[in-house]
Copies of this chain bind each other. A is one copy, B any other.
Amino acid sequence: MPNLLQPQIQDANAPRSPVDSDGTGRFLALARELSEVGKGFYERNWVLGTSGNFSAAISKDPIRLAITATGLDKGRLLPEQFLEIDESTNVLRGDGKPSAETLLHIEIVRERNAGAVLHTHSVWSTVLSGLYAAKGGISIEGYEMLKGLSGIQTHEHREWLPIIPNSQYMAPLSRVVSDTLKQYPAAHGFLLQEHGLYTWGADIDEARRHIEILEFLMETLVRRMNVGHAI
């Protein structure tokens, strides 16, 4: 079974296999993979207190996402707790309410043709997005780790990580997110102020890699600021 499903997992644009006509196999495979991602992030303190949310595209045309339900411990997700939603956030499969921030996931999938969207709440992103809020973003430059971001070939790259004011009103916030993604077409992620990081990728592995890289870089920036001008 896994062998048959494997090609589908690689490409959300592929036609459905006849052995998985209702997409259940793909849904469960993605949910299983996102559960594992959650476990790893929880161990790193990136999704404490039921924070964070994750999604992956079952298909992109029309948009169908496997997404975390709201209020669950992200370190102990079960595949059957995930929801399938359409682009109007209707729940097509599963029990529970999708994450409050579901609209942001849909916006990102649409704007970036993403196969997966991951959102973490680390201490580092909370500190940094508060410190730099007035500047509207953070410039990250000169680090080898930047090369792990999709399409980047050199550490001389300058990444602009936009900071968006936090809000509980998801419709207007999703429009700000959409505008921000259009304004910075090269950005690999963005921060919500004192809230956390959003990033994405062609598939779950790439999105996870982007989380690791951006979290690493934010920790590095804060720790370097701590040292100040000591040398």
Contacts and interface: CB of A to CB of B under 8 A. Distances in A.
B49 A123 contact: no
If over half of A's interface residues share one DSSP class (helix, strand or loop), that class is named, otherwise mixed; here it is helix
B131 A227 contact: yes
Interface in A126-179: 126-127, 130-132, 135, 142-145, 148, 153-155, 166, 168
A144 B196 contact: yes
A6 interface: no
A195 B144 CA distance: 5
Contacts of A154: 168
- How many monomers of this protein are in the complex? 4
Contact of A219 (B73, B123, B227, B230): B123
A18 interface: no
Interface stretch (A77-85, A87-95, A209-217): A209-217
Contacts of A192: 144
B155 A49 contact: no
A48 interface: yes
11 contacts: A49-B145, A49-B148, A49-B210, A123-B216, A123-B220, A126-B220, A127-B227, A144-B195, A155-B194, A222-B227, A228-B230
Given A130-B224, A142-B194, A155-B194, 20 more contacts: A50-B148, A51-B148, A121-B144, A123-B219, A123-B223, A126-B143, A126-B144, A127-B220, A127-B223, A131-B224, A143-B194, A144-B166, A144-B194, A153-B168, A154-B168, A155-B166, A222-B223, A222-B227, A226-B227, A228-B230
